[in-house]
Amino acid sequence: MVRSAVLALVMLASVCSFPALAADTPFQEALHAARNDDWEGLSRAQARLGDDHPLQAYLDFHRLRAALPDLNPDRVADYARRYPDSPLPNDIRQLALVAYARDNRWDAARAVYDEPPRSLELNCLYWRAQWQAGNEQALSRARELWLSGNSRPSACDAIFNAARDRGVIGQAEIWQRMELAFYERGPGLMRYLRPMLDDQPYGTAADWLLDLYGDPEQLTGIPKSLPDDQRQVLLAAGFRRLAYTDTVKAREWFEDDLGDLGFTDAALIERSGQRIAWYSTIRGIEDNRDWLDDWLRDHGGDSLVDQRARRAVIEQEWDELPDWIALLPEAERKDSRWLYWAGRAAEENGDEQRARSLWQQAAAQRNFYGFLAADRIGEPYRFSNAVPTGDQTLPELPALARIQLLREQDEPGLAWSEWNWLMWHSNETRQRQLAQYALDAGWYDLTVQASIQARAWDVLAWRFPAAHQQRFQEAGRRHRLDPWLAMAIARRESAFYPNARSPVGALGLMQLMPGTAAKVAREAGQGVPAERQVLDPATNIELGTRYLGDLLDRFNGNRLLALAAYNAGPGRIAQWLAEEDEAVPVDVWIESIPFRETRDYVQAVLTYRVLFEGLHGNPESRTAMLLLPAESGTPYSLAMIED
């Protein structure tokens, strides 16, 4: 059980594995000792703290953690009763379940959870414990967990094996999972599953499924001797893969050869056509254009029509764009994005009055295209800023005292967990009270999190607090850049959570990759910073703004190119700029950025920058702040970076 179970144990034990800066206070000494199983040191520090310290739950947590797997599960329940308003009881339950399972203490494992936990790995362990007690429902739940195109933790293997032994997971379920893995682009999982299938009735079809993943053009050779339901699945899989590898050929065969291939399943044919249409659209394949447009008019699909309208923008097909926008759902048509582009089409088609009307509608919205539309008609931006209302007085909550202490003890991760637990267990009124409390306390990352939980989209004081403003201003002066832009990056990257870590390893407020942080530090004549230093807000802001300044220098001060590079890497920018004779306007270039994440990122950061300056800088200047004249007036092409 396993490596993945061990990984879960390590992750859940974050309260015992994160290194402290220094043992400067009795609690820091105690926590450092507890994390390192130094019980004598803990006893000495505990004597100085007393037994009623507000953070006592953390020290008791480690005593329980260290006693696993021999710990009596009653002590886990007692711990939950003693600390009912804390996230820690759930943490110790998770650790206990993993530890008991590894030690085959299934009675104890069943005792720590009354219902299945959310984590996939813990869910498998929970149902394995139930199966050990003869609960037949465990096998049907195992079947549900099995049917996925993605790999499952090895902690699930035992309950899967039990379900296979009892026939709850049989040949049909293994074949179904192979099909799901194909659609999730999981050839490794497909190869893992293949030996589980007998030659009949699914083995031959499974071999063909693997072959089609490697060479989808083999779909013309699928044996007609296979059962028809398997052939239909294989033909659909082959067309899906061929749409990715050779979209033109996929369209030609789909258009001309369905009858000869014996592809008759209407639902699978529809799905295959939509996939060919998707790649035809996002790749802008001219050879498929007539077929694509006919397909979309007959079959629709909101996401496909959206992409087709976007393709019309990229190719500046201003005559055709209104027709594609008209096929979008009403809610999409009324969104500022498509109101803006409908206005651009009207302008290009000579209808200035309609363009202005559409831009006025778009300008009522607080977002990138709303602000862009406002600039088109020379109107101020609509912030639609709601003032917090209601009783802001909170009762005394022990969790708030713990959060305060944890932040003072330089434990942002633990404070974050406490805050999230408190938010999840509060109603909307309490969440709003907590948002204002956090803002007053200067807990800017927690303020933003509270605004999200409370869905307080119009309370901009909570969503865009002036976090670390002085640091950003000082760093901006040092590196000759706009501090509001750097602050907007931090808001987008981490929502001001200083301990943020991305799945790929980016760290801190401005989400710096360790290699980037090291490179910037070396170029500044400094030593390579340790991870803990990169997480420090002052260091992170210094290195992040220096890196941003380098990108702005590299791209001649163009913030759009620099932001796209910050998100996707500098090397991609040249790929996204056309030859000089194909230069495009700034708005078209933004819409043409291939990565949706980067498109959204550039728009969000520029929008956040406007909000920060409008809220905390010059509130009178709320127009023409989105793009600089040089950015909006320059055609976008490779000529911008050739120097």
Eight-class DSSP state of 104? T
Cβ atoms of 319 and 327 within 8 Å: the answer is no
Q: What's the rounded Cα separation, in Å, for the pair 391 and 385?
A: 19
* Torsions phi, psi for 57 (to 5 deg): -55, -30
Segment holding 46, helix H or strand E: helix 39-49
Q: What's the rounded Cα separation, in Å, for the pair 334 and 315?
A: 22
Eight-class DSSP state of 507? B
Q: Per the residue annotation, which of 493, 542, 591, 613 is the catalytic one?
A: 493
Q: What's the rounded Cα separation, in Å, for the pair 32 and 419?
A: 22
Give the CA radius of gyration of the chain.
Answer: 29
Q: What's the rounded Cα separation, in Å, for the pair 99 and 65?
A: 9
Q: What's the rounded Cα separation, in Å, for the pair 623 and 604?
A: 17
Selection from 416, 415, 407, 401 nearest residue 53 by Cα: 401
Q: What's the rounded Cα separation, in Å, for the pair 603 and 625?
A: 13
Selection from 162, 166, 168, 122 nearest residue 143 by Cα: 168
Per the structure block, which two tokens stand in for 345? 């089409």
Segment holding 342, helix H or strand E: helix 336-348
Per the structure block, which two tokens stand in for 120? 């996939």
Peptide bond into 329 cis (omega under 30): no
Peptide bond into 195 cis (omega under 30): no
Q: What's the rounded Cα separation, in Å, for the pair 200 and 203?
A: 6
Q: What's the rounded Cα separation, in Å, for the pair 552 and 485?
A: 11
Q: What's the rounded Cα separation, in Å, for the pair 343 and 358?
A: 5
Active site (annotated) includes residue 523: no
Eight-class DSSP state of 410? T
Residue carrying the six token digits 């869905």: 455
* 371, HSE (Cβ side, Cα atoms, 13 Å): 22
**DSSP for 563-599, written as a single string:** HHHHHH-GGGTGGGS--GGG-B-HHHHHHH-S-HHHH
Cβ atoms of 332 and 307 within 8 Å: the answer is no
Cβ atoms of 105 and 80 within 8 Å: the answer is no
Which three-class secondary structure state does DSSP give residue 286? helix
Enumerate the active-site residues. 493
